[in-house]
Amino acid sequence: MNCTNPHSCFSIIPVSNSSRKSNPCSSTSRSSAGNHVVSPLKIESFPRMRPMIPHRKGFRLCSSNGHSLQSVPGGDASVYAESDVKYIEQGDPDPLVYSESAASESMLSITVVGASGDLAKKKIFPALFALYYEDCLPKNFTVFGYARTKMTDEELRDMISATLTCRIDKSENCEDKMEQFLSRCYYHSGLYDSEDNFSELDTKLREKEAGKLAHRLFYLSIPPNIFVDVVKCASIRASSMKGWTRVIVEKPFGRDSESSRELTRSLKRYLSEDQIFRIDHYLGKELVENLSVLRFSNLVFEPLWSRNYIRNVQFIFSEDFGTEGRGGYFDHYGIIRDIMQNHLLQILALFAMETPVSLDAEDIRNEKVKVLRSMRPLQLEDVVVGQYKGHSKGSRSYPGYTDDPTVPNDSITPTFAAAALFINNARWDGVPFLMKAGKALHTKRAEIRVQFRHVPGNLYRKNFGTDLDKATNELVLQVQPDEAIYLKINNKVPGLGMRLDRSDLNLLFRARYPIEVPDAYERLLLDAVAGERRLFIRSDELDAAWALFTPLLKELDEKKIAPELYPYGSRGPVGAHYLAAKYNVRWGDLSADD
Amino acid sequence: MVGHSRPLSPVSDSDSWPPVIQPPMAIPHCASSSSSPSPLHPPSMFSPSSSDSTSGGRARFPRFHRPSSPHKVSLRIHGTSLRNSANQVAMVEVEGGPNKLGSPSPITLAKDEKSGLLANVSSASIIIVGASGDLAKKKIFPALFALYYENCLPKQFTVYGYARSKMTDSELRDMVSRTLSCRIDKREDCSEKMNEFLGRCFYHSGQYDSEEDFSNLDRKLKLQEGGEACNRLFYLSIPPNIFIDAVRCATLSASSSRGWTRVIVEKPFGRDTESSAALTDALKQYLEENQIFRIDHYLGKELVENLSVLRFSNLIFEPLWSRQHISNVQLIFSENFGTEGRGGYFDSYGIIRDIMQNHLLQILAIFAMETPVSLNAEDIRNEKVKVLRSIKPIHLDNVVTGQYNSQTKGDITFPGYTDDKTVAEGSLTPTFAATVLFIDNARWDGVPFLMKAGKALDNRRTEIRVQFRNVPGNLYKGNFTSDAEESNNELVIRVQPDESIYLKINNKVPGLGMDLDQSNLNLRYASRYSNEVPDAYERLLLDAMEGERRLFIRSDELDAAWAIFTPLLRELEEKNITPEGYPFGSQGPISAQHLASRYNVRWGDLNLNQ
């Protein structure tokens, strides 16, 4: 399953075990008795240089990328002494025999700051447990919850256990595993701006670490106004002495170019760039990960991937519910900051980037920055904003956005936005990239739609009827729910006539892969532990992203642009159609045959 | 562009003719709007008009169809039937040019039924020569019935069986009725329809080389025929040695004097360049090129028809359709049974003539041809000829032949080819062949086109496999769970059974790692389309009646096809090349794999993950 491929982890597989279906995350050296005898282990040869980190015991450094993690310049490799990193040349004729005794014990401490919050409960702890279940966490690890609430370890465990589940296909020993996991969870109560409290945490952590080489990962699941305080206290008081210390930061990363830059500057006072892991959980989604695979591991797509064949690209996010009484945070940010500037723009960058030199994080992020910097800032006339209003269906009535008690009555925060963006480079000049994001719409989904151009001189023109737009090819990547990839093609309807229709070349993940798709947070946590930065946002990416949206956001604020109202549960404001029509586009999600 | 309001007009201005085309959604192909309650109301149909009367009736213009309902009109355009609500229609029939049979080119104008001028309908007589044969029973009669059921036959039609056996009309009907069936999705009034259809079937016994017998047939036909034009379609379902006799007698004694006469000819069209040319010459003594309909029923198969639709109505395939992206193309035909006591005919032809030189080569030509000027028959066939003429004759080195041996599996023993009593002892006839062809043009230079055809193999299928090149500088080289060689994209068009189209793509296996596997972007007909795929013969018979020649083989195509294979066939025979034995039910001779690997190809159908 995960990390199943030897190539995807540090490929240490036992010589005897040639099965590719083994679960390498559950490294063979991991044994319940704690007696690590298995070896010798063989290093598979790699296409390029691969560093080995010896400080692992019973723990495979997996990442979701399946290649070298230490190739990142200036990365955490610096925490290891030069001599600790062994480079294995490609095709090394001597399989490196690697026995347990050669490695010294290492340890991972994960501290979830804001442990009593929603995200921690719903996503972070369950993701950690899933990683534990899959044997993707190091043998020695502890999880610390940190928050202001007074709580005992037991109370934390109770709280967490309510949200843990096993995957449907892996429920074996589920209870046991949960118990084991929970026993590694601890709680420390403290203030977010108290260096003393973090010192106490440090003491507790050290106790658990017991002199092992300890790495520390802090997950900041807290409101933005206390980001910097926590980072300050944690890094000053609770950094790892010998191992690495990394901090995962959640959005919002500021609310415009200035505030974002200010946040970065503050973070960098206490952390170096390679310690900061800005999470955008959309980048951890299966189909977003798959986007690069589709483009770069198949011959058939890349030749089509340009203005020559692609007419427009659409990034669509819709939720079928509103703020539902939790609009406080949202009202301050709005849909553009909440969804577009980060999630959709990140997907766009992955979609449109040039082929990177390699799959290394820096190479990919370099290409993403290039795309972002090739885009012109959004113009007000290329944007439509909307806000949902109350709507009654039969006896049920759905509240409008401003009916939410946590939202000011006169709020003009957009809950819907549509935008047209352009990339001024050789590949994409003139191709509209449309984005649409909204709450309280008629469906829940996130998808990428690639609409291709008309067939020039189409021989079958007559068979399509009048609307040739309905006869263009379209590639759809359905990110959620119900992951799927389908390519709409024109096909002859079987029969004696010559009737054409649009049929799908279809890949429905549910049907093809009878395994549960892991949550985005699992992948991202795993990568952060492994030091794989590909799916995290680098400072310059963030800058470039804000540069595109800041002028627009400022203008919306200054001119107090009133959003177009749309009924709860509708398809959104009609202005979105006009915007698309201005660029000769139809929203693919609203077409009849979708 | 008007259809519905077009006034009655003479035929000749066909240039101004394209009628308005309504989106042809959800309209039955032939059936007139009112599924006519009475058998007397099937629609009449008419051939396309043509402004070029000498070129073999180029179906350059839409075809029209006359439905029975006075208020609805179906238009059939390139096989697509359309309907509009007007009640005026002009119908047109121009066939042939200088007619050797001395009949004038008939022009039929049918007018609005309400205007009372509807006497001008044409009748069609379909004569199946060799009516007692297997093909007639299994394919031709059932196909005609299906067309009748779908209201695709003219209102006035009769079906005549012609053969040497003595039989009465009702004996023929008995025989025919046993093989008729209704489509699964269309069984309403099925037995009623069958009886109506059988009521239009007659039998005439006669010798194939007797002009007199055909004259008698002619007299009988005339009794049934009525209306302005009486068209006749002869289907020759007889052994090749009597082709010419039957054509001579039929044309001299039983040609239509007031309508077209067309002859459908079945393979074999000779056994090499010379004999094929001789056959064509002989046919042309009695027939014009535009009267000859050489059938290759593979061209009537749904997915072969769809090949052009895929290529030319989608943007995404054509850019990939060349040596730049395609590493090889494979055309695979396999049967999982042998000659089963019917090897007589086969033994004198062999698999190369029986399958490759016609069926597979025709598919190849459609696959590889340049974009035609239009979808008209002549434009398409011009492009096919060009491709065929760009193919180098096959060299013996590039061929593997095989013959199946007997094989015992458990208690069952499957006989070898030469165990068949109808096959000559010591026969060297190949029952399997694999070959590599190259097309010397700008698009395909250097791309191997592999063909494989065999009997008594491990499965039954016909498919087209397009294997794409490696991804240059593949970033994910290290991530494939399987052999990277097998990770190339592949487009598979499965012609039969279980029609489907799928594109193999590399995909990330969901999960925390980065494992890639091959998954299919899949279109399976059985899940997508609820209607039954019509048999190839239905389409071809319908087209022959409509004068649509796109799916029939023109003489020059046939010449070009034989030119590719004749030197090879001669060499095989002169050198008495012994075919490689392979066990009944196996994957065929191992040399086929060596042949492929010589060109760095693996047969797609032998892959584990097909």
Which pLDDT does position A594 carry in this prediction?
A: 56
Q: How far is CA B165 from the centre of its chain?
A: 29
CA distance readout (Å), A441 to A193, A194, A327, A567, A570: 40, 43, 16, 8, 5
Contacts of A286 in chain B (CB under 8 A): 508, 510
Q: B136 or A105, which is more confident?
A: B136
Q: Which helix (H) or strand (E) holds A212?
A: none
Which pLDDT does position A284 carry in this prediction?
A: 92
Partner residue facing A293 (CB), from B469, B476, B528: B476
Residue of A nearest to B537 (CA): A496
The yes-or-no verdict on residue B35 having pLDDT over 60 is: no
CB spacing of B510 vs A464 below 8 angstroms: no
Q: How far is CA B17 from the centre of its chain?
A: 28
The yes-or-no verdict on residue A443 having pLDDT over 60 is: yes
Partner residue facing A465 (CB), from B23, B305, B532: B23
- Given CB atoms, is B264 within the 8 Å cutoff of chain A? no
CB spacing of B314 vs A490 below 8 angstroms: yes
Tokens 């290649």 belong to residue: A67
- pLDDT single digits (tens) B158-174: 999 999 999 999 999 99
First to last CA, chain B: 47
| Mean predicted confidence (pLDDT) in A3-7 | 40
- pLDDT single digits (tens) A485-526: 999 999 998 888 888 888 999 998 888 888 888 899 999 999
How much is the mean pLDDT over chain B? 81
A123, A521 Cβ separation under 8 angstroms:
yes
CB spacing of B515 vs A66 below 8 angstroms: yes
| CA-closest candidate to residue B111, choices B47, B44, B157 | B44
Which pLDDT does position B185 carry in this prediction?
A: 64
Q: Which of A281, A343, A391, A442 is catalytic?
A: A343
| Mean predicted confidence (pLDDT) in A26-37 | 36
Contacts of B148 in chain A (CB under 8 A): none
- pTM value is 0.81
d(C-alpha B111, C-alpha B120), whole Å: 8
| Tokens read off for B213 | 């017998």
CB spacing of A458 vs B325 below 8 angstroms: no
The yes-or-no verdict on residue A589 having pLDDT over 90 is: no
Which pLDDT does position A73 carry in this prediction?
A: 38
- Which of A86-100, B208-222, B504-518 has the lowest average pLDDT? A86-100
Partner residue facing B508 (CB), from A67, A293, A358: A293
Examine the predicted complex and report whether its ipTM is higher than 0.90: no
The yes-or-no verdict on residue B129 having pLDDT over 60 is: yes
- pLDDT single digits (tens) B196-234: 999 999 999 999 999 999 999 999 988 888 777 889 999
- Using alpha carbons only, what angle is made at residue B476 by residues B471 and B479, rounded to the nearest 5 degrees? 130
Sequence-separated (6 or more) residues with CB below 8 Å from residue B414: B338, B406, B407, B408, B456, B584, B585
- Given CB atoms, is B311 within the 8 Å cutoff of chain A? no
Provide the residue count of chain A.
Answer: 594
Taking only residues 534 to 563 of chain B, the set having a beta carbon closer than 8 angstroms to any beta carbon of chain A reads 534, 538-539, 542
In three-state secondary structure terms, B62 is: coil
Q: Which helix (H) or strand (E) holds A24?
A: none
| Mean predicted confidence (pLDDT) in A398-403 | 94
Q: Which helix (H) or strand (E) holds B506?
A: strand B500-508
| CA-closest candidate to residue A536, choices A385, A376, A364, A386 | A364
- B437 forms beta bridges with B449
Give the number of beta-carbon pairs within 8 Å between A and B.
Answer: 263
Which pLDDT does position B30 carry in this prediction?
A: 66
- A310 forms beta bridges with A452
Contacts of B371 in chain A (CB under 8 A): 457, 459
DSSP A387: E
Residue A71: band (very low, low, confident or very high) from pLDDT cuts 50, 70, 90:
very low
Residue of A nearest to B375 (CA): A459
In three-state secondary structure terms, B88 is: coil
| CA-closest candidate to residue A242, choices A71, A82, A107, A102 | A107
d(C-alpha A456, C-alpha A218), whole Å: 55
* Chain A closest-CA separation from residue B29 CA (Å): 5
Taking only residues 35 to 74 of chain B, the set having a beta carbon closer than 8 angstroms to any beta carbon of chain A reads none
DSSP B379: H
* Chain A closest-CA separation from residue B325 CA (Å): 7
DSSP A62: B
Q: B329 or A329, which is more confident?
A: B329
Partner residue facing A463 (CB), from B24, B152, B489: B24
CB spacing of B316 vs A452 below 8 angstroms: yes
CB spacing of B80 vs A463 below 8 angstroms: yes
Please say if A442 is a catalytic residue. Answer: no
Contacts of A522 in chain B (CB under 8 A): 512
Phi, psi torsion values for A39, nearest 5 degrees: 160, 165
| CA-closest candidate to residue B35, choices B118, B149, B154 | B149
Contacts of A505 in chain B (CB under 8 A): 501-503, 521-523
Q: Choose, out of B183, B309, B512, the residue to mutate when testing the contact with A (most A CBs < 10 Å).
A: B512
Residue A9: band (very low, low, confident or very high) from pLDDT cuts 50, 70, 90:
very low
d(C-alpha B386, C-alpha B396), whole Å: 23
Residue of B nearest to A61 (CA): B513
A292, A361 Cβ separation under 8 angstroms:
no
Q: B122 or B303, which is more confident?
A: B303
d(C-alpha B71, C-alpha B86), whole Å: 6
Half-sphere exposure of B551 (CA within 13 A, CB side): 30
Please report which residue ranges of B178-210 form alpha helices under DSSP H: 190-199
- pLDDT single digits (tens) B518-553: 889 999 888 888 888 889 999 999 999 999 999 999
Which pLDDT does position B6 carry in this prediction?
A: 36
Sequence-separated (6 or more) residues with CB below 8 Å from residue B2: B19, B20
CB spacing of B511 vs A2 below 8 angstroms: yes
* Chain B closest-CA separation from residue A102 CA (Å): 26
Taking only residues 81 to 100 of chain B, the set having a beta carbon closer than 8 angstroms to any beta carbon of chain A reads 81
Partner residue facing A4 (CB), from B499, B513, B538: B513
Which pLDDT does position A466 carry in this prediction?
A: 67
Q: Which of B78, B359, B395, B594 is catalytic?
A: B359
d(C-alpha A172, C-alpha A134), whole Å: 12
| Tokens read off for B554 | 């023109």
* Chain A closest-CA separation from residue B23 CA (Å): 4
Sequence-separated (6 or more) residues with CB below 8 Å from residue B26: none
β-pairing verdict for B412-414 and B326-334: unpaired
Share of chain A above pLDDT 70, in %: 81
CB spacing of A498 vs B22 below 8 angstroms: no
Q: A544 or A51, which is more confident?
A: A544
Which pLDDT does position B8 carry in this prediction?
A: 36
d(C-alpha A489, C-alpha A508), whole Å: 16
| Tokens read off for B64 | 């029209």
* Chain A closest-CA separation from residue B3 CA (Å): 14
Helix and strand element counts for chain A (H, E): 15, 22
In this structure, which amino acid lies at residue A448? I
Q: Could you please report the per-residue DSSP string of A492-522? A: EPSSSS--EEEEEEEEEHHHH--SPPPPHHH
- Which of A23-32, A317-326, B123-132, B390-399 has the lowest average pLDDT? A23-32
Residue of A nearest to B518 (CA): A298
SS (H, E, C) A160-172: HHCCCCCCCCCCC
Burial A548-581 (b: 16+ CB within 10 A, else e): bbbebbeebeeeeeebbbbbbbbbbbebbbebbe
Residue A182: band (very low, low, confident or very high) from pLDDT cuts 50, 70, 90:
very high
A444, A319 Cβ separation under 8 angstroms:
yes
Contacts of B25 in chain A (CB under 8 A): 465, 499
* Chain A closest-CA separation from residue B604 CA (Å): 17
Q: How far is CA B507 from the centre of its chain?
A: 37
Contacts of B313 in chain A (CB under 8 A): 455, 458-460, 463-464, 471, 490, 500
| CA-closest candidate to residue B59, choices B44, B75, B47, B46 | B47
Sequence-separated (6 or more) residues with CB below 8 Å from residue A330: A323, A338, A407, A413, A415
| CA-closest candidate to residue A289, choices A351, A202, A380, A213 | A351
d(C-alpha B456, C-alpha B459), whole Å: 8
Q: Where are the beta strands (DSSP E) in B29-121?
A: 44-45, 63-66, 73-77, 80-84
Phi, psi torsion values for A109, nearest 5 degrees: -115, 125
Q: B104 or A352, which is more confident?
A: A352
* Chain A closest-CA separation from residue B504 CA (Å): 9
CB spacing of A294 vs B516 below 8 angstroms: no
d(C-alpha B475, C-alpha A7), whole Å: 13
A421, A375 Cβ separation under 8 angstroms:
yes
Phi, psi torsion values for B404, nearest 5 degrees: -80, 145
| Tokens read off for A418 | 């549509």
- Given CB atoms, is B527 within the 8 Å cutoff of chain A? no
How much is the mean pLDDT over chain A? 83
- Using alpha carbons only, what angle is made at residue A19 by residues A16 and A23, rounded to the nearest 5 degrees? 105
A166: buried, middle or exposed (CB in 10 Å: 19+, 13-18, 0-12)?
A: middle
Helix and strand element counts for chain B (H, E): 15, 22
Q: Choose, out of A459, A461, A470, A472, the residue to mutate when testing the contact with B (most B CBs < 10 Å).
A: A459
Q: Choose, out of B74, B183, B316, the residue to mutate when testing the contact with A (most A CBs < 10 Å).
A: B316
- Given CB atoms, is B151 within the 8 Å cutoff of chain A? no
Contacts of A299 in chain B (CB under 8 A): 320, 325, 468-471, 488-489
Which pLDDT does position B94 carry in this prediction?
A: 35
DSSP A337: I
- Given CB atoms, is B533 within the 8 Å cutoff of chain A? yes
Q: Which helix (H) or strand (E) holds B354?
A: none
* Chain B closest-CA separation from residue A298 CA (Å): 6
CB spacing of B521 vs A506 below 8 angstroms: yes
CA distance readout (Å), B266 to A144, B130, B325: 81, 11, 37
Contacts of B508 in chain A (CB under 8 A): 286, 289-290, 293
| Tokens read off for A510 | 């549910």
Sequence-separated (6 or more) residues with CB below 8 Å from residue A86: A51, A52, A54, A96
Most confident of A450-459, B439-448, B510-519: B439-448
CB spacing of B471 vs A467 below 8 angstroms: no
